[in-house]
Structure 1
Amino acid sequence: MSKSVFYIKFVHSLLFFLIAICTVYVFIAALLDHINWVTWLAFGVAITELLALAFNEWRCPLTDLAERKGAEVGSVADLFLPRFLSDHLFTIFGIVFSVTCLLLIWRVIQ
């Protein structure tokens, strides 16, 4: 793996963990009915990632960048995570984020 690909994967991993932490934070804040400006900031981070993926045909722009720098197809997606987890991230976080959004909406309208 080239240095460029390594750095892209490293940044990709940091962003993944930031987005994961934000998603879990919003879920817990909504679950405990403790919604404040930090909750909305974290939700905005998650929505920004969702929009970035949606506008790039559900493919992370960093994956494209890594492939242009010589990474194998999809190799940036492993994020230095176990293969099983990286293969199912969209499914796992899709479900978690959907439940989080429903819970957040329920808390806001109640």
Structure 2
Amino acid sequence: MDDSSQILIPDAFAALYRSPRTGRLTLPRDELAARHEFCEDLAQAMVEPARAMLFRHGIAEDEVLRRCHLGLIGEGSGVRADEAFWVACRLAELLEWSQPETPAVG
């Protein structure tokens, strides 16, 4: 059995790659799994820097998440805009903080 078939991809992440018209995935499953793994690793790696930002700068949790999201949507981050928001949401979940507000579209 292929190892990638063992990876559980959250519905919220898979939804980023579903066609609104057909509901089918727009990426092969192995590519979807790779994108999810990259984004999950990114969120995990951001936990300690986010905590440090909270205490070092004395800012609110939502501001930390906003700044992290801004960094993720910047050029060269390696993630798409919708993945960036997913990473920010996953980061909030890992930190047990409130979920960030949905970013403005456009």
Q: Is this a same-fold pair by TM over 0.5? A: no
More helix by share: 1
Q: Which has the higher contact order (CA 8 A, sep 6+)?
A: 1
Larger Rg: 1
Normalising by structure 2, report the TM-score.
0.33
Normalising by structure 1, report the TM-score.
0.33
